[in-house]
Structure 1
Amino acid sequence: MATITPAQLSIELQIPQKRIRDYLRSLYGTLPSEETRRQLTDQQADDVRARFSGAPEGETRWLLEPGDTVRRRSMHVAYGGQQQGGISTPRNRPEILIFTDPEAGARFGYDRFEGLREDGSYAYTGEGQYGPQEFVRGNRALRDAERDGKTVRLFRTRGTLATYVGAFTTGSPTHTIETIPDADGNPRNGIIFNLLPLNARVDLLPAYGGELESAESPVSYVGTPRAWSPPEFTDVIVPGMAQAPGERVTSRVEFELQAAFGEWLHTEGTPPARLPLRAGSTVIEPDMWVPGRNWIVEAKRSTARGHVRMAIGQFLDYAHVARKANLAALPVVLLPGPPEMDLRELMANLGITLVTRTEDGFLVSLPS
């Protein structure tokens, strides 16, 4: 089966894809409606090479578009960089090329640490199959990409082919250190990079923890509600991604608040549950789902404006997905105390129920 595409020829000839597609259209007409990507025979590819072989030489430009599939080798011929390993650093170019093969990674247990997270960031495992991963070579280059002015170009590979997912940058923090398996299944320290999309087809990536099951419509998928258990909060502070300005951890304060509220709900006869929701290419999950009241609950550890704003934004996302799936969803923000009056007015105007902790339980303030 042919694997030559306009994208392949684009990087080979350093000609924008639009010119190639326009030329092919003039020769062979438009694609059938059921086809989205043109696959070329050797003769058709030679016709394109003959037409554009006299193109002026100059600086090699980045010409791939998100979704383009090319032979990995030809991409390195055009842009340079190491052809082995997951992180490639072309010399004298403003890019770092990184490659992921989720199917191969799943065989080593990497699927539990890589993928598209709920917040839209992408978790990517560093280089090194054995021993603790260290910040050398590609790992160091990827860690320092933003500082060095480099764009991270992510590819999803399968065999000899590489599909360009798009452009990314590193988030804050750039990485975490987690215990991951080596190629033999032995535990070791691994680097999990935090990547944020700039211009990318994130639908080409697996969700965090593994590929999602197929669904007729991603927004119509609602996972089976699962039993809710109170989070552990006695001794640990769990590292997490930034949730609000200045916040770098999910604290035991928030976990203890959730646990107490869950117990209160049980006493009210409306126990909480967990409700995973499929949103596009990933799974999102509110802190609690209270089916007896149709509540989607988002808890925050502080009444500070930044935390309240974050809770409002998260709920709007949850509610949008839930309502697309014909699931009744009433918004509830859970806080350790009452926020400022203007924030209470804002939540009331948005139809959000505010629940605050009191000395003897919780106060539910319904929107007027």
Structure 2
Amino acid sequence: MSTPAQLSLELNTDQRRIREFLRERYGTLPEGVTRWELDDRQADAVRARFAHTAQSIDPKRWTLEIGDTVRRREIHSAYGGQEQGGIITPKSIPDVLVVTSPESGARHGYDTHEGLQADGSFLYTGEGQRGPQVFARGNAALRDAARNDRPIRLFTKQGTYVTYVGEFTTGEPAFSIETIPDSDGNPRDGIIFKLVPVQADIEALELSIEIPAASAQTTSWTPPESSSYIVRAPLIPGDRDVSRIEFELQKDFGRWIKDRGETPQRLRLNSAGAVIEPDLYVQESGWVVEAKKSPAREYVRTAIGQVLDYARLARESGRPAVPVILLPSRPVTHLEALLSELGILLAVRESEGFSIIK
């Protein structure tokens, strides 16, 4: 059996045109069937229709669509590129192709950091199984992809087949150097690329690593240490440390909640292959709290996106969820009005505790 995806690679032809031809020749798909699976006669009819077109098209074009599953060798037959390793740099197209495989990657230490992250990015380990990884060949191509205007195409691997997840680009920063084991278990420097989706099915990455789509778990809450620093990725560019001000704000608010006879908790939310966590969850009221060290506009706008995301995931898991933003003082009137319109409660410090503004 053949598919339009496979034939598009073979014939260098858009799948849309292939499907239009199939509908004209054979009618629409039966009810409940979502993808064409062609017998030899149908596949040959497609080849006969588009063979001349394929020969006249130059250069090669990208024809796979998100969710397509094909044999890896079919990609190499269409575009060329390295047949081994996870980073493929075909000469016939500008695209950089990246293959992730949790099973095989674990044998070479690639699973230490690789995977979907809470901010929606995907961390990908560079190539090189032994010794420190360096910026040569595929690693250099992936590092420079955005600067050179090269799309990054991410695939998951299942045996000899690969499934196209979608187009990515490098994030900010594009990479970090982390300690990972090599194939013999020896520690070495590894290049961890940060890839962010342009147009992709992130949930395909979730399914590939068998993480539940949405779940929530509460645990006991303890006040953070006010002398501690960064424990999570930055959410505002350049703001890499969660400041002492924010930790103290969380600690005092948690104590205030306890004095009210309520129970502050930690809430771990699982969605799209990533675990994310608001600063505090109040069991009785369902408050989902995100704290920020400043009422400045950039902090409030960031908190809005976070807390609405947390609250929706909590509700999907069956828990009550009321979004709350915790600040050391009141923001400008416009932002207070915006929070009210969005149904977000505002908690601000007062001399004798905290005030809740609806």
TM range (shorter): 0.7 to 0.9
> Is structure 2 residue 211 aligned with structure 1 residue 212?
yes
Provide TM-score, normalisation by structure 2.
0.88
**CA separation of 1:247 and 1:347: change in aligned 2, threshold 3 A:** same
Contact 1:130 1:183 in 2 (8 A): yes
**Pairs aligned (count):** 356
Cα separation, 2, equivalents of 1:134 and 1:259 = 43
Structure 1 equivalent of residue 39 of structure 2: 41
Q: Work out whether residues 145 and 152 of structure 2, in 8 Å CA contact, stay in contact via their aligned partners in 1.
A: yes
| Matched-pair contact (CA < 8 Å) for 2:269–2:313 | yes
Residue by residue, what CA displacement relative to the aligned partner does 1:51-98 show, whole Å, maximum 9, x if unpaired?
322222321111111111111112122222211111112226321111
Describe the superposition over 1:267-324 as per-residue Cα deviations: whole angstroms up to 9, x where unpaired.
4432322223344554443221110221000111222110011111222222233334
Q: Counterparts of 2:226 and 2:112 in 1: how far apart (Å)?
A: 23
Cα separation, partners in 2 of 1:198 and 1:304, compared to 1, 3 Å: same
After superposition, where does 1:1-368 map in structure 2 within 5 Å?
2=1, 4-55=2-53, 56-91=56-91, 93-106=93-106, 110-111=110-111, 113-206=113-206, 210-213=209-212, 218=213, 221-232=214-225, 234-238=227-231, 240-241=233-234, 243-280=235-272, 282-358=274-350, 362-367=353-358
Secondary structure at 2:171's aligned position in 1?
strand
- Provide the C-alpha distance between the structure 1 equivalents of 2:146 and 2:240, rounded to a whole number of angstroms: 20
Separation (CA, whole Å) in 2 of partners of 1:89 and 1:250: 39
Cα distance between partner residues in 2 of 1:277 and 1:172: 24
Residue 52 of structure 2 aligns to a residue whose secondary structure is: coil
CA distance, structure 2, for counterparts of residue 346 and residue 257 of structure 1: 22
What secondary structure, in the 3-state scheme, does the structure 2 residue paired with 1:223 have?
A: strand
Range with bigger deviation, 98-107 or 69-78:
98-107
Q: Give 3-state SS (helix, strand or coil) of 1:261's partner.
A: helix
Whether the aligned pair in 2 keeps the contact of 1:180 and 1:189 (CA below 8 Å) is yes
Give every structure 1 segment of 4 or more consecutive aligned residues whose post-TM-superposition deviation is greater than 6 Å: none
**Partner letter of residue 39 of structure 1?**
E
Give the TM-score, by structure 1 length.
0.86
Answer whether contact 2:59 2:92 (CA < 8 A) is retained. no
SS at match of 1:20: helix
Partner of 2:6, secondary structure, is helix
Structure 2 counterpart SS, 1:351: coil
Q: Secondary structure at the match of 2:215?
A: coil
CA RMSD in angstroms comes to 2.7
SS in 1 for 2:304: helix
Contact kept in structure 1, 2:216 and 2:269, CA below 8 Å: yes
The answer as to whether partners of 1:245 and 1:306 remain within 8 angstroms in 2 is no
Three-state SS of the structure 1 residue aligned to 2:258 is: helix
Shift of the alpha carbon at 1:143?
1.4
Distance change (3 Å), C-alpha of 1:207 and 1:40: closer
Q: State how far apart, in whole Å, the 2-side matches of 1:304 and 1:82 are.
A: 49
Deviation of the 1:262 alpha carbon:
2.9
CA-CA distance at 1:146 after TM superposition: 0.9
Instruction: State whether residues 80 and 92 of structure 2, in contact with CA within 8 Å, keep that contact through their aligned partners in structure 1.
Output: no
Give ranges in structure 2 of 5+ residues lacking alignment: none
Shift in CA distance, 147/223, structure 1 to aligned 2, threshold 3 Å: same
Counterparts in 2 of 1:85 and 1:108: CA distance versus 1, 3 Å: closer
Which amino acid is the alignment partner of residue 202 of structure 1?
I
Mapped to 1, the partners of 2:223 and 2:176 lie a distance apart of 25
Matches of 1:156 and 1:284 in 2, distance apart?
Answer: 23
Whether the 8 Å contact between 1:330 and 1:352 is mirrored in structure 2 is yes
Q: 1:103 to 1:22 in 2, by over 3 A?
A: same
Aligned partners of 1:251, 1:179: CA distance in 2, in Å? 26
| Pair 252,186 (structure 1): closer, same or farther in 2 beyond 3 Å | farther
Q: Is the 8 A contact 1:353 1:364 kept in 2?
A: no
Deviations 1:2-51 (A, max 9, x none): 4x321111111111112222333344443333332223334432332233
2:210 corresponds to which letter in structure 1?
E
Shift of 1:177: 2.6
After superposition, the Cα gap between the structure-2 partners of 1:349 and 1:53, relative to the gap in structure 1 and judged at 3 Å, is closer
1:110-166 deviations in Å (ceiling 9; x for gaps): 445222222222221222222332222212221111111111111111111111111
Q: What percentage of residue pairs aligned between the two structures are identical?
A: 53
